[in-house]
Chain A
Amino acid sequence: MQNTEFLEIDLTKDKDSEALVNNVVSMLEVSDKKGASVKLKLDDAQISQSQMIFIKSLIESYGFILGFVQTTNSYTRDICIEMGIATNVDTRFVNNEENNIQNEKLDDLREQFKAKFNEGLLPKEEINDVKEENIIQTQQNNNPDNSIEETKEEINEEAAEEIKTQDNENNADDIQKQVISVYRKADEEENRLEFQDEEEVDFYAPPTNDPVIVDSKQTIYVNQTLRSGQIIDFDGNVVIIGDCHPGSEIKAAGDITVWGVLGSIAHAGAKGNKEARIRALKMNAVQLRIANCYSRRPDSGNIPYIVKSSVFTPEEARIVDDNIVLFKMAQN
């Protein structure tokens, strides 16, 4: 973990979360410092916990580590502390008399942070004023020659080829032309959702819950809507950020997670893993298959179009006694 290289991303100019994600993705794609720590500059932006988790996993999917978040927003800072991500300590915040208890915590953190800093694990600019250098670095990185689209296409081709070599048995020809957008496969070790370096995490603030340890297989991130006729076949876990329309198919040897409406056929544990699970923000699947079990949508709800709404009921499908059972993932 002795990373001296830091990749800085300035997100202060991004107004909505979409632009933010695009910015992060474009920066990570352009950079060749693989494995480096990423430093996010957020200023006053308020980021919710789920968004932060998403950003963190996005960065990790590219093989980077989210090492540091620079923010002046107290809410965002709390989230970061809760998640065990290093943040800068703002003097304005420390002097705030209303939050005495938090101040004490922060003082501790600051000391810990300084100790850590002295060990050389964190960059020196963090505590001092970082703005100027940040701006210079991001300007350099935003090289107009490397437009986002071009790099995306390149990655698509690379990725398609990579998958092709992996899944020669499973209709590799199919996959090549089909979807699969921006994703990077991470090395097996780095691919866990648990924290990279446990010691470092304990050092700051331990997470309240035990981290979810996903199967140690590889994971792909598909950052787009899956439309009819598109197929994802992967020997690992699949995470889709977007909806899955009817007529598409997801086949994975591991778990399937859909951050959106699942309205297609999903086959988790396609190579016989009965522990595999399918999760979706909204479950409207035509068919669910896990390992060799199969279930279909009831005929009463068999409508030929995808039902989209702003109300989400996250559900998880898993095998109980050779039957596929749906469990609600959130209360109410």
Chain B
Amino acid sequence: MTGSVIVITSGKGGVGKTTTSANIGTALAKDGSKVVLIDTDIGLRNLDLLLGLENRIVYTIVDVVEGRCKLKQALVKDKKNPNLCLLAAAQTRDKSAVTEEQLKEICDTLKEEYDYIIVDCPAGIEQGFQNAVAGANEAIVVTTPEMSAVRDADRIIGLLEAKEDVKKYRLLVNRVRPNLIKTNDMMSVEDVVGILSAELIGVIPEDTGIITSTNRGEPIVNNEKSLAGQAYLNVARRIKGEEVPFLDIDQPTTFFGKVKKFLSKKVKVAK
């Protein structure tokens, strides 16, 4: 069995790489796939917080690389889903503690036993990015509908195209706010896809629930009511190769809004 190694990257910081990694990983594991999440943000690790596994980490990726433990010992099992494992980054070291070859070797070893290896990439295009991309054969480029994030994503896509191993890259537009797009204050998803001319894998709406879920250490896909959670579940299904229509993210949140939308639909039908 050979699983696929998917790197989640963006170039710019703060667009939601780590959130995306945690949620896609959890969503894939929920479907029954065996998933490993690798945090390559050595020195600034966060993925363990989002999964609520901070207190269980004993060995990190640096310990594995330096031979202080076996790879299996360093994999932290998720609290709820036994299909999901985390290979945490060390907090007390920096990016140079791991080399590209070592990360590639880890990915290749894990590939034999797991279906999906999700690599959370650090921001930037330096050593950390090179490490994260080294073992990947697929990439998800996360961006937000802002010019700076799109510009950085463009640069990243350029770098990814130069990598022979990365066969495929797809775009995930995060933190979309439909009401701002309507008033022309924000770039639309179509604009972003047009500028970057890349295949789209998902559109995630802005959701305040992300903040709560981060603080609680529980990925938002576990919350079935959340729209962002639904969107992430759809992304996971698309990764598995299913054809899933894009979610209507322009969903009203208030009761009044719901009535208004319901009525406007009826009128359209009547016309």
Contacts and interface: CB of A to CB of B under 8 A. Distances in A.
B92 interface: yes
A230 B92 contact: yes
Given A174-B92, A294-B58, A229 B43 contact: yes
B124 interface: no
B22 to A, nearest CB: 13
Contact of A228 (B52, B91, B93, B217): B91
B56 interface: yes
A304 interface: yes
B49 A304 contact: yes
Contact of A302 (B43, B52, B58): B52
Contacts of B44: 229
A299 B216 CA distance: 10
Interface residue tally on B, bucketed by range: 10 to 19
A264 B93 CA distance: 16
Nearest to A246: B54
Nearest to A175: B92
A228 B41 CA distance: 14
B215 interface: yes
Chain B at the A interface: SS class? loop
B43 A296 contact: no
A287 B58 CA distance: 9
Contact of B93 (A174, A248, A297): A174
B63 to A, nearest CB: 11
A178 interface: yes
Query: Most chain-B CB neighbours within 10 Å: which of A230, A286, A287, A304?
Result: A304
Interface in A279-313: 286-287, 294, 296-297, 299, 302-304
Interface residues of A, number: 19
A8 interface: no
Query: Most chain-A CB neighbours within 10 Å: which of B52, B55, B56, B217?
Result: B55
Given A246-B54, A286-B54, A302 B217 contact: yes
Contacts of A230: 92
Contacts of B52: 299, 302
Contacts of B215: 303-304
Chain A at the B interface: SS class? loop
Contacts of B58: 287, 294
Interface string A216-238: 00000000000011110000000
Interface string A43-67: 0000000000000000000000000
A247 interface: yes
Given A174-B93, A231-B92, A297 B43 contact: no
A91 B82 CA distance: 76
A229 B54 contact: no
A29 interface: no
Contacts of A243: none
Given A174-B92, A231-B92, A249-B92, 8 more contacts: A178-B92, A229-B43, A246-B54, A286-B54, A287-B58, A302-B52, A302-B217, A303-B215
Interface of B: 43-45, 49, 52, 54-56, 58, 79, 91-93, 215, 217
Q: Which 9 A-B pairs have the closest CB atoms?
A: A296-B55, A231-B92, A304-B49, A297-B55, A247-B91, A286-B55, A229-B91, A302-B55, A229-B92
12 contacts: A174-B92, A178-B92, A228-B91, A229-B43, A229-B91, A247-B45, A249-B92, A286-B54, A286-B55, A296-B55, A304-B54, A304-B215
